[in-house]
Amino acid sequence: MRVVALALVSVALAGCSGSSGGLPESALPRLVLQPGDLPPAFDRFDEGRLAKADQPGGRRAQPGRFGRQGGWKARYRRPGDAETPGPLVIESRADLFDSDGGAKDEVDAIRGERGTVASDRNIGDETLLTSTTQPGFPRPLRIVTVTWRTGNVVASVTVNGFQGRVREQGAFRLARLQQVRIVAAAG
């Protein structure tokens, strides 16, 4: 009887641990944008596991941070110039954590980064937006990143192109396409 009681307590505590029992690491390649999600003008020029060189700095520099199990990326580009509407480069990422709590810690760390704000355009459990401008010729470059958490997955879409040609709503549209992939993989 005592063994059964201890087993029930263990099961109850496991349910409160914040673990989502979510997606396996093998699902990562399906959690990012695929070539068919984008117009034909975009070519995928980089795809695969997120390596140490892909990791951000600061609190998020360690690949195993917050129980992170792995990550995947897909990067796309298209030809264009300063007059081309929309993004010229798109990056889609997904990081898988061993629990919802680890994914929340990741989002909290991102939230503390410069220029990042909470978004009222909800995707998943929580959504952040970062928009920056960098000097460029013939006009400045605009970089927009939408980051969101769905359970134990933290995903992002980054678009960049010339100032006045890249808009936040385009980044959100792509993020919603990627979210459909995440929800489908979660079953």
Reported as a single tens digit per residue, the pLDDT across 63-114 is 889 999 999 999 999 999 999 999 999 999 999 999 999 999 999 999 988 8
User: What's this model's pTM, rounded to 2 decimal places?
Assistant: 0.86
What's the confidence (pLDDT) of residue 41? Answer: 97
The pLDDT value recorded for residue 21 is 54
Q: Give the separation between CA 149 and CA 100, rounded to whole angstroms.
A: 9
Residue numbers in the chain where pLDDT is lower than 50:
1-20
Alpha helices in the chain (DSSP H): 2-15, 100-111, 168-186
Q: What is the pLDDT of residue 107?
A: 96
Distance (Å, rounded) from C-alpha 168 to C-alpha 81?
19
First vs last C-alpha separation in the chain = 37
Alpha helices in 19-149 (DSSP H): 100-111
Among the listed residues 130, 106, 107, 108, the one whose alpha carbon sits nearest the alpha carbon of residue 119: 130
Q: Which two tokens stand for residue 149?
A: 């958490």
